[in-house]
Amino acid sequence: MPGYLKRHGYRIIPVNPTATEIWGEKSYPSLIDLPGDVARAVDVVEVFRPSEELPGVAIQAAEMKSRYGRPRFFWAQQGLESEEAGRILEKSEIGYVMDCCMRTIHRNYFKKT
């Protein structure tokens, strides 16, 4: 799915604790490890981790927001939900979407009529 967005002109900054590079982009082990200049450019954190890991990622997003004023949104892919993560994000004033495929929404929004 991130490959789809990359093909449509979006910059993808991979965060993966087990990779050093994805799609030709440097990968970071966590959101907290993003350099400030990179973190300040992040609009959306798109999450492809199991639901039970969403609160931990939400905590990282909240810390990132506290440090850099970003991200603006947190997007948990289809099948992923966490009320606890939602509470963390609301407290940090980060908008969020859960259990929804970003590619599907993008395709529908940019569908030619």
Q: Per residue of the chain (113 residues), what is the pLDDT tens digit?
A: 678 888 888 888 999 989 999 888 899 999 999 999 999 999 999 999 999 999 999 999 999 999 999 999 999 999 999 999 999 999 999 999 999 999 999 888 876 54
Which pLDDT score, from 0 to 100, does residue 113 have?
Answer: 45
Residues near 16 by beta carbon (within 8 Å), at least 6 away in sequence = 22, 27, 28, 29
Domain boundaries, the chain: 30-109
Q: How far apart are CA 98 and CA 61, in angstroms?
A: 15
Do 93 and 63 meet the contact criterion of CB atoms below 8 Å apart? Answer: no
- Which CATH code is given to the segment(s) 30-109? 3.40.50.720
pTM of the model: 0.89
- Rounded to an integer, what distance in angstroms lies between the CA atom of residue 89 and that of residue 62? 7
